[in-house]
Amino acid sequence: MERKNFLKTVAFVSLVPVLFLAACKETGKKEVDGEKKQTYTCPMHPQIVQDKPGTCPICGMDLVPFDKNNKEASLTLGESQMALANITTMVVGTGALSNFKQLNGRLATDPGKTAVISSRVPGRIEVLYVKETGVKVTKGQPLYKIYSEQLASLQQEYLLTVAQAKQFPDDERFRQIEKAARQKLVLYDQSDAQITQLVQSGKVSPYVTYPASESGIVSELTATEGQYVAEGGGVMRIEGYNQLWVEADVYPAEASAIHVGQQVKVIVSGWESEPQMMTVQFINPALQSGSQLMQMRGTISNPDNRWQPGQQVNVLLPINSKGNVMSLPVDAVIRDGKGAHVWIEKARGKFEPRMVRTGMENFDSVEITDGLKEGDTVVITGAYLLYSEYILKKGSDPMAGMPGM
């Protein structure tokens, strides 16, 4: 019995090393298999990582595969991927940068381009050649015909003085009377051609047609056909839109930063890609009625009448300026809780993030005070897509582990 127990003990002891080595091999194999095992993460929440497909417990999105063992802090994209992501770059340099304050404004009709058509003689309007507002007229175009007994009397008087001057050519007094009668017709807006025609025909006509004195758009009609109008009575208003006022609201505390003759930038709503430069021409020293706002004004050209009075605009007032600074478009800088970073193109199609420190900023550009040097190639469009792609592929924030600035 003792011999049998002794043999069992010897056999067990001899098998222990074999079993131990087999167990080690199996464990090593599992570890290797574990290293090769695919992992998955949420595109919106990279902190969610698991070793099988599924959905994000936070947002419910499908998890996507990623390589958690690739620790290289860069992305490599092909030409087609770059084209789809609309990735463009620029080489960093230095230049001037201005900061702006935005003022709300509007376009208005320039009174200098407005003509009020009034009757030069008292009489009855026989024909209105323009019967509705919004019609475009050109200078010299007939606008209305008027019947005037007073004009007929003046024409008859002039014909008499002309006849007297011809009958007594050596009498200076008759020549002066003829000249005075002619001047009366001129004051009633009779042209030289009309007066010459009157003398040649010898016939009085109580009807006179008045042309447009300016080109523009008929904005108001104040008379109708058959209506009697007095001398100087309004008939219509013509507004020219080839130049418009820009009126902007200014708080009294901001008025000290504005002066007549200053250059400002005007952005018309819907035409943000075509900013206009304007010179400040007037600053109202009094507050607008019922408000605590002042008003500044300037003019801009309006080619092809593309803009209309009443349209909203933004006036960008420069309040600070720096020279010889390094700046980037605003969309090139990605900001998160860890700071700001940009994407640098190290080689064609290879991008890596870099922490930067920002300074002065306006609507279009941001100053880079640290993190870049002249000659760096920076992504200016598509930077956020690179940021998202990095999280998608790496499963971590590209700024994780980088020292703050």
Section 13-21 average pLDDT: 49
The confidence band for 32, taking pLDDT boundaries of 50, 70 and 90, is very low
Burial class (CB within 10 angstroms; exposed 0-12, middle 13-18, buried 19+) of 71: exposed
Tens-digit pLDDT profile for residues 276-314: 999 999 999 888 888 888 899 999 999 888 999 999 999
Q: Residue 178 and residue 199: Cα distance in Å, rounded? A: 12
Among the residue ranges 134-138, 253-257, 310-314, 382-386, the one predicted with the least confidence is: 253-257
Q: Coil, strand, or helix at residue 154?
A: helix
Return phi, psi of residue 212, to 5°. Answer: -75, 135
Cβ within 8 Å of residue 76, ≥6 positions away = 349, 350, 351
Residue 252 near residue 91, CB atoms below 8 Å: no
Section 18-29 average pLDDT: 48
Q: Which residues pair with 383 in a beta bridge?
A: none
Q: Residue 274 and residue 280: Cα distance in Å, rounded? A: 19
Written as one string, the DSSP assignment of 209-247 is EEE-SS-EEEEEE---TT-EE-TT-EEEEEE--SEEEEE
Return phi, psi of residue 272, to 5°. Answer: -65, -25
Q: Scanning the structure block, which residue is given the tokens 């006036």?
A: 315
Section 84-108 average pLDDT: 86
Q: Could you tell me the pTM of the whole model?
A: 0.54
Residue 51 near residue 37, CB atoms below 8 Å: yes
Tens-digit pLDDT profile for residues 234-247: 899 999 998 999 99
The confidence band for 30, taking pLDDT boundaries of 50, 70 and 90, is very low
**314 to 265, 267, 270: CA distances (angstroms):** 8, 5, 11
DSSP state letter for 33: H
Structure tokens, 56: 């994000």
Identify the residue with better confidence: 281 or 39.
281
Q: Scanning the structure block, which residue is given the tokens 């024909």?
A: 127
Residue 45 pLDDT > 90? no
